[in-house]
Amino acid sequence: VECFILSGYRRLPCTAQECLASVLKPTNETLNFWTHFIPLLLFLSKFCRLFFLSGRDVPFHHPWLLPLWCYASGVLLTFAMSCTAHVFSCLSLRLRAAFFYLDYASISYYGFGSTVAYYYYLLPGLSLLDARVMTPYVQQRLGWHVDCTGLIAAYRALVLPVAFVLAVACTVACCKSRTDWCSYPFALRTFVFIMPLSMACPIMLESWLFDLRGENPTLFVHFYRRYFWLVVAAFFNVSKIPERIQPGLFDIIGHSHQLFHIFTFLSIYDQVYYVEEGLRQFLKEPPDAPTFLGTVGYMLLLVVCLGLVIKKFLSNAEFCSKK
C-alpha cells in the first residue's frame, strides 16, 4: 500500500494475463505504465533514426558509434524495465521485489551508459579538460604554476571506473531500501540516483569558467534544462505531492509517481538532444576510435555485477509490499 494512495490497487497475487489487462483499466498503476511506455516508443524511434536513417557515411556498426549504442541501450532498457515492473509487480511479493530490483539495476545501467557517451562525445570538447587551455588559465587566475596535463589525464583515467563503482553501489543501496529497516525509501532512492549525476560536473564547471553558452549553446541550454526537470522530478518523488495534500483524489490520475515519470522523461529527452549534438561534433574531427572493451565491454561487465547484486538480494531480502 502506498502512502496517501487509498484506492485503485490490483489484487495480489494476479495472473500474468490479469496484469496485462490492467494497463487498460483504471488502476493506480495504469498511468505509471503509459507514462514510460509512450516515451519508450518515442526513444526507440529516435535511436532507429540515429543509427539507420541519419544519412551519415558512418555505418551503424562503426566503432565511433559504440558509445551511442551503450547510451541507447541504457535509455531503452530503463523505460522497458520500468514498464515491466509496473505491469507485473502484483504477480507475487517475491516477483514484485525482483522486478523492482531489476528496475533499479536498469537505472544504474542507464547512468553508466550516459557516462560512456559523455566520456567520448562531450568531455573531449571541453576547455576544462584541455591542458593547453587549463595550464595558462590556472596560472593567470590563481597564480599557480601547475602543469594540468597529469591531473587531466588522471581524471580521464578514473571517470569510467568511478562511474562503474557508483552504478553498482547505487543498485545495492536501492535494493536495501526495499527492506523494513528503511524509513524513507523514496528519499534514499532519489539521493543515491543523484550521486551518478556528479559525472556531469565537468560540463557544469565549463559553463562557470568558460563561455559555454556562446561556444556550445545547444549543450548549455539542454544540459541545464535537463537538470531543472530532474529537480522537479525529485521534488515530486520525495514530497508525494499532490496526493499528500488530498489523499484519495489522485489515486488513478495525477499522483506523484506519474509526475515523476513525466519529468524524468523530459530530462532524458533533453539529454538525448545534447548527446546527439556531441556525436555530430565528435564525427567532425574524431580522435582515436572507441574500443569495444572500453564501451560495450564495460557495459557487459556491469550487467554481470548488477545480476550478482540482484541474485544476492533475492536470496536474502525481506520481501515486503513497499514500493
CB 173 within 8 A of CB 188: yes
Q: Tell whether 255 is in a known binding site.
A: no
Nearest to 256 by CA among 266, 267, 270, 245: 245
Neighbours of 151 (CB within 10 A): 15
Q: Tell whether 222 is in a known binding site.
A: no
CA distances from 243 to 58, 71, 95, 122, 225 (A): 49, 34, 27, 39, 26
Give me the helices (H) in the chain, please.
16-21, 30-52, 66-88, 93-117, 131-142, 149-176, 185-194, 201-209, 212-215, 217-239, 256-284, 298-316
Residue 182 CA neighbour count, 13 Å, CB half: 20
CB 214 within 8 A of CB 245: no
Neighbours of 210 (CB within 10 A): 16
Distance between CA atoms of residues 224 and 288, nearest Å: 29
* Three-state secondary-structure class, residue 139: helix
CB 268 within 8 A of CB 229: no
CB 53 within 8 A of CB 122: no
Q: Tell whether 257 is in a known binding site.
A: yes
DSSP 56-102: -SS-TTSGGGHHHHHHHHHHHHHHHHHHHHHHHTTS-HHHHHHHHHH
| Numbered residues of the known binding site | 86, 257, 261
| Numbered residues of the known binding site for Zn(2+) | 86, 257, 261
